């Protein structure tokens, strides 16, 4: 019988399946005292290719994903060229087919070039992308956003919104929740499925909570850094600079409450690598964005599960079942009927320190550098193929 997607399995329960799947590694692999979890899905990843391969490539980014236990990622469209047409999307798709070691699901842009003045080829792209986003910038034109929602709804897709009202300082709560408030009103008017990226404020949480109670087709994500850090923890270092910025302790607590009551549907990393030079100019001078694929589960397992904030089953749901259902992604746990399983193998018992020098990502900027964490990925298997082994 297939087990529930959110249930932890002792690896001894699936030894035969594991041995067969991992046969390329040899017969002497010892899986005792490890745990199996389903492969995770990250709905917010910047793979940077095409256009910015000095920051990250699809090859390096998906290797980092596999090392973090992620078997599916949604790639953000702030690329060069931006995937605003089928022609531009196919440049990215060709690299994915050649280089990706985990599932990569591109998002198309809402507007051409993410410039906010003309809509992309929504109807042409919709069957080929996981949704539509202008991540990195908010769509400021109310009429254009309403038209986008109408066309996305008709095309059977979803808006994946970066909420940032540029009339307010980026560091303010208003920059996020004011645009979210507008978007939720437009989603009500149009009936368009709507997903909010990287929730970081208590006001946004409450708006989402009210919208769900009103029956809107809305989901949202937050990120590990927003639920484990507050602005009291920020140092004068580029590894603490991301967009949206980390907010107050009160915002952090509101996010944690929203994870427990179901208002927040999933956790995504917003993995956004930059070069060491771009992140080495102190907090004020550095580029926005941190890496997260290789630290997400260990940080969340340590700070949320081991400290009693969430059970492991709930954390696993936030990283697997919820994103897969929302974005129609299918992958399964191993059982006796599945000859090509997808799963991850973890050491949950032994602590280690996060060291960016060991990352497979090209980026190394993380606020979690030096943290002692529990949750070391030992192996990631995708469709019966070992794509990562520590």
Give catalytic residues, as residue numbers.
270
State how far the Cα of 189 lies from the Cα of 234, in Å rounded to an integer.
Answer: 40
> 96 CB contacts (<8 Å, ≥6 apart)?
58, 104, 106
- Rounded to 5°, the CA angle 258-263-264 comes to 75
How far apart CA 370 and CA 379 sit, in angstroms, is: 23
User: Do residues 111 and 144 lie in contact, with contact meaning Cβ atoms separated by under 8 Å?
Assistant: yes
What whole-number distance in Å separates Cα of residue 298 and Cα of residue 347?
10
How many other C-beta atoms are found inside a 10 Å radius of the C-beta of residue 98?
Answer: 9
Phi and psi for 302 in degrees, rounded to 5?
-75, -50
Q: For residue 375, which phi and psi values (nearest 5 degrees)?
A: 130, 80
Token pair 């529930």 is found at 4
Q: Which of 350, 338, 340 is nearest to 378 (CA)?
A: 350
Q: Rounding to the nearest 10 degrees, give the CA dihedral for residues 373, 376, 382, 383.
A: -120
């Amino acid at each position: 019988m297939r087990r529930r997607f959110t249930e932890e399995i002792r690896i001894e329960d699936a030894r035969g399946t594991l041995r067969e799947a991992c046969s390329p590694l040899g017969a002497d692999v010892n899986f005792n005292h490890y745990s199996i979890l389903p492969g995770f899905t990250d709905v917010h990843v910047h793979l940077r290719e095409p256009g910015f391969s000095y920051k990250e490539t699809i090859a390096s980014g998906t290797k980092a994903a596999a090392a973090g236990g992620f078997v599916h990622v949604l790639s953000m469209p702030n690329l060069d060229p931006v995937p605003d047409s089928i022609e531009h999307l196919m440049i990215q798709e060709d690299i994915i087919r050649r280089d990706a070691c985990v599932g990569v699901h591109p998002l198309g842009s809402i507007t051409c070039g993410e410039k906010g003045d003309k809509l992309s080829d929504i109807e042409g792209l919709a069957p080929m992308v996981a949704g539509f986003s202008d991540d990195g910038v908010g769509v400021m034109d109310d009429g254009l956003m309403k038209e986008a929602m109408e066309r996305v709804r008709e095309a059977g897709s979803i808006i994946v919104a970066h909420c940032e009202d540029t009339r307010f300082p980026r560091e303010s709560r208003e920059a996020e929740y004011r645009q979210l408030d507008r978007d939720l009103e437009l989603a009500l008017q149009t009936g368009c499925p709507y997903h909010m990226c990287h929730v970081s404020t208590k006001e946004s949480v409450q708006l989402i909570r009210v919208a769900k109670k009103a029956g809107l087709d809305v989901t949202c994500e937050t990120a590990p850094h927003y639920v484990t850090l507050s602005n009291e923890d920020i140092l004068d270092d580029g590894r603490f600079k991301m967009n949206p910025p980390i907010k107050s302790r009160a915002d952090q607590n509101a996010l944690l409450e929203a994870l427990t009551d179901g208002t927040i549907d999933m956790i995504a990393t917003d993995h956004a690598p930059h070069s060491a030079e771009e992140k080495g100019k102190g907090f004020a001078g550095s580029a926005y964005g941190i890496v997260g694929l290789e630290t997400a589960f260990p940080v969340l397992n340590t700070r949320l599960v081991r400290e009693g904030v969430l059970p492991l089953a709930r954390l696993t749901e936030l990283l697997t079942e919820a994103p897969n259902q929302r974005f129609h992604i299918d992958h399964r746990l191993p059982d006796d009927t599945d000859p090509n399983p997808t799963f991850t193998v973890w050491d949950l018992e032994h602590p280690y320190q996060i060291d960016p020098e060991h990352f497979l990502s090209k980026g190394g900027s993380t606020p979690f550098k030096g943290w002692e964490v529990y949750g070391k990925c030992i192996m990631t298997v995708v469709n019966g193929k070992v794509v990562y082994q520590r």
